[in-house]
Chains A and B, each alone.
Chain A
């Protein structure tokens, strides 16, 4: 497998160029659309003959501006991430992590959690696959916490709605929670709280042949990601933005500030507890978060709520119950929940 003549044939080059041109044209169209967002929403509100300064006008204008904006930004971020992810696979990540000690391993696992393709439906095979191949339990947990929590949809939406500072902060603190929580679980040596059969599984030493991907394949991987992810999250997103618009237009600021404001210390734990049974994804939560912040809710409180909704979801616990004893799930919730609490309090203290 050393010679790939096809890499250099003229027809292959023409194909690459055509795809590249397509991507550039799509980017130009994207920029053009993005620059028309404000005029579009103003035009749409006036075309609907709603008074732009009324509450309804406020809410409708918010929706008509945010929905296309979020959709556009999300599309480009998901595409970029799809291309990046084509360089990674869970099997490759596992091979990278299997040789690592705890500590360094936790950091690497959390980082790889962002770029490795992951779907919560395959959380169990992934968990077993990691543990049986010799990845330490705590390192596996760092991966399992970071992968769903710090994902491109969450980061993209935060960037789109709240700016890059908050997106970066979420990234840093999300990683910190995953690293520390995984490390703590590793230190507790809870291997005996895995379901018994899991400990007896030995992974086969199979090397999955990785398909050789060229540039066009990677562009296609990006497009597939857009189709798959945007196709899945857009209803959540519209509902979230709709709820955000309603909050934006109708909920009085004083009320929210008193419940979710910085002075109400108990609002952080309440937000975490409230977030566990709620199952939504970032697409549904973040537009609500933005509206809440606009109404005077404290950043740490809503961030804690968001992390809790995304990272501590009941359905995922039920899936993981197949491999973890209930005690270990309780520890998992406790450790991650504590981490999120800390993030919430820290934020409220720092950003005054």
Chain B
């Protein structure tokens, strides 16, 4: 089970990112729990300065802008 956190204050792109993570996880057959982190202090605590950010199993893999689907698949399978 991969623990995925999507960091973002709730902008349109953050929601799109959540949907992308869901879709890629399903395609890759990787079971995930997805959590949205919207609290600014918590977001900053992860050390990113641009949103949406993605944290997988406690590790920041992406910050700023929509992720690429290929990259998502790679991160989920890693």
Which residues on A are within 8 Å of B, measured CB to CB? 89-91, 93-94, 117, 121-122, 124-126, 128-130, 132-133, 197-198, 200-209, 211, 322-323
Contacts and interface: CB of A to CB of B under 8 A. Distances in A.
B51 A206 contact: no
Interface stretch (B19-27, B28-36, B59-67): B59-67
Interface of B: 8-9, 11, 13, 40-41, 43-51, 53, 60-65, 68, 71
Nearest to B49: A129
Contact of B45 (A91, A94, A203, A207): A203
Per CB-CB distance, the 5 closest pairs between chain A and chain B, nearest first, are A129-B49, A206-B47, A204-B47, A90-B50, A90-B49
Name, among B43, B48, B51, the residue most crowded by chain A CB atoms within 10 Å (CB to CB): B48
A200 B42 CA distance: 11
Nearest to A93: B49
Given A130-B49, A208-B48, A211-B71, A89 B64 contact: yes
Contacts of B61: 208-209
Contacts of B68: 211
B64 A90 contact: yes
Contacts of A203: 44-45, 47
Given A90-B49, A122-B51, A128 B64 contact: no
A193 to B, nearest CB: 17
Given A209-B61, A322-B40, A202 B45 contact: yes
Given A90-B64, A94-B49, A322-B40, 5 more contacts: A91-B63, A125-B50, A128-B43, A128-B44, A211-B71
6 contacts: A125-B44, A125-B49, A200-B41, A201-B40, A204-B46, A206-B60
Contact of B47 (A197, A208, A209): A208
A314 B22 CA distance: 36
Contacts of B44: 125, 128-129, 132, 201, 203
Contacts of A129: 43-44, 47-50
